[in-house]
Structure 1
């Protein structure tokens, strides 16, 4: 996915940020002068940790490191699977001292549950504004974003997969769980849009290696 952005001419720079279980961030590579859209790939050493609050703290540690190292003023975030909850819990901390988030891309987000854990195919119901009839604790913890998310600042693109097999899911996350993001952010976001990817390559772990997703990402981040 990152290399698709390089190939599209958005950037020439990919830096790797590794976050230890204690929140120490190590950067591999450097930003280059004149490259205004460098990519930072973020990896959590404790990626089996199941706490979204912890993921949010690790995301914040990464943003702080970039701010200290490169005096970053604005940035975009792209998350897949658990990376989405890292973004959401980062936002819920509402730290105004940090750089301004401009664009947020959520791919295969399990905002209100995971199939086989606390959700089942075709079980979750949403209101027209995306509010789940039953909210998981992790989702309830994010309801404060409806008041605290920066107003008219962040453009949000929500991409989810539908295997087209009757489950209305990407095999791991129901479309309803992904679409429940709307209720949390749409009223505060600068813009909010959803895009559904259909077919075999819309399976959860294949969405970050999908040409359709790459095209959506390039178009959204280019401007």
Structure 2
């Protein structure tokens, strides 16, 4: 069996990055939607008694089951994108890009743990959590998600857009989209419900672009072989 050359090995990275990014985007979107539906934010009409509904609890349980896998695919996505971009001479941007991705993952896990705490205080079945416990857990989960995780996501998106623009590995429209996404996550997500969905949406667009670009490069390599 003939071994792969260096060029062939390098060409596999964009495809892996794209697939990992697509899976991450879908998993994170589903988790955010389920958390928002199961534990509404800023709705005075939603009382602790409403959370005893099995539908709400089921939505939160499903979201919590998805979050670890979203984190795993995001880390794979980060590593694969770094390999696709290649060596970055600006160590500052490279460090910010990697660091913000790791902090985002940790904070996302923290938000999931807080949401799990809200779920735990609703037991035993048929009882409702106390008002103070309910409010604390609900606000803590959303503070971690929208106040911290999404701001780290904004830094991640911005640094990736700058790197992609400087190295020419991203088209201008995608870099501009990244900057707009970063601004939304930085200043809007903590005040506007559902705004955090722009992050998985950007990840999905970037992943599709990487897959398409990788496919074109692979076709050119095959044609020149």
Which of the two has higher C-alpha Rg?
Answer: 2
Higher strand share: 1
TM over 0.5: no
Bigger RCO (CA 8 Å, 6+ sep): 2
Q: Which structure shows the higher helix fraction?
A: 2
Q: TM-score, normalised by structure 2?
A: 0.23
Give me the TM-score of the superposition, normalised by structure 1. Answer: 0.24
